[in-house]
């Protein structure tokens, strides 16, 4: 029965309001001005479903010496020394009832901007692209990828 699957899959809400983050982080500076690649900070561990937030140690690799007088960096440093994760607020999230793999999409040659927009131009991380079942299906159709229900959703057993 695909009825329920389709209904639930359409629940993903799209909002242009950026969530408040625990530390002011500028993608515009890091990915734009410094031209860092996305995967420099966001690694994709096996099996590859998720991209991840960078470890605090990764940030501190640079910020132990760069801009360490900044209040924001000092907050970052406290998370690092306290061995706590920075509670970043996720901007994009695919529901748990959708099979989603970053690795599959990256391996197929898709770029980050296709789903996330021009993040390198953003001072504050904001949802630029709608992520709904409709937008997924449109992209799949354009790229000649299956839109079969079971391609993204589990079939009830």
Partner 1 sequence: MKTEYDVLIIGSGASGGMAAHTLTKLGAKCVMLDAGALIDPEKQRVLRAVSDLPYRGFGKPGRFPHVTQASEFSANMWADEKENPYTYDPGNPYYWVRIRLVGGKTLAWGRASWRLSDYEFKCKDHDGFGDNWPIEYKDLAPFYDRVEPMFRVSGRKEGFPQIPDGNFLADESRDSLCVQRFLDSCRRQEVPTTKQRRSTGTLASSLNLLLPEALATGNLTLVPNAVVRELSLDKATGKVNGAHFVDRISKREFHVKAKAIVLGASTLESTRILLNSNLANSSGTLGHYLFDQFYVKNVVQAIVPEARGGKAPRNLMGGGGYIPRFRNLKTKSKDFIRGYSYDFGSGNTPGPQYFSAYGEKLWNQMADAQGTGFSLTTMGEVLPRFENYVRINRTKTDAWGIPILHINQKYTANEFAMAKDSMNTAEALCKDSGFEILAKHWEMVPPGESIHELGTTRMGSDPKRSVLNGWNQTHDIKNLFVVDGGAFVSGGSQNPTLTILALTMRASEYLMDQSKKGSL
Minimum distance between the CB of residue 88 and partner 1, rounded to whole angstroms?
A: 17
**Helix, strand, or coil (residue 33):** helix
Run of H or E residues at 41: helix 38-41
Q: Which is nearer to partner 1, 35 or 96 (CB)?
A: 96
Q: How far apart are CA 134 and CA 51, in angstroms?
A: 22
Phi/psi of residue 116, nearest 5 degrees: -105, -5
If one asks whether residue 150 binds partner 1 (CB under 8 A), the answer comes out as yes
If one asks whether residue 96 binds partner 1 (CB under 8 A), the answer comes out as yes
If one asks whether residue 107 binds partner 1 (CB under 8 A), the answer comes out as yes
Minimum distance between the CB of residue 97 and partner 1, rounded to whole angstroms?
A: 8
CB atoms within 10 A of CB 32: 16
Q: Which parts of this chain interact with partner 1 (CB under 8 A)?
A: 1-4, 6-8, 10-13, 47, 95-97, 99, 107, 130, 132-135, 137-138, 140-141, 144-151, 154-157
């Amino acid at each position: 029965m695909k009825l329920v699957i389709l209904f639930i899959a359409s629940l993903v809400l799209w909002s242009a309001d950026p969530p408040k983050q625990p530390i002011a982080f500028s993608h515009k500076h890091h990915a734009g001005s410094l031209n860092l690649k996305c995967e420099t900070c966001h690694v994709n561990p096996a099996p590859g479903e998720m991209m991840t937030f960078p470890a605090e140690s990764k940030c501190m690799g640079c910020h132990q010496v760069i801009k360490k007088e900044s209040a924001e960096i000092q907050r970052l440093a406290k998370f690092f020394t306290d061995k706590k994760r920075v509670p970043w607020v996720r901007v994009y999230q695919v529901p748990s009832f959708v099979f989603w793999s970053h690795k599959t999409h990256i391996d197929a040659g898709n770029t980050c901007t296709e789903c996330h927009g021009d993040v390198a131009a953003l001072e504050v991380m904001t949802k630029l692209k709608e992520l709904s079942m409709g937008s997924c299906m449109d992209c799949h159709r354009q790229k000649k990828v299956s839109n079969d229900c079971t391609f993204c959703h589990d079939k009830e057993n």
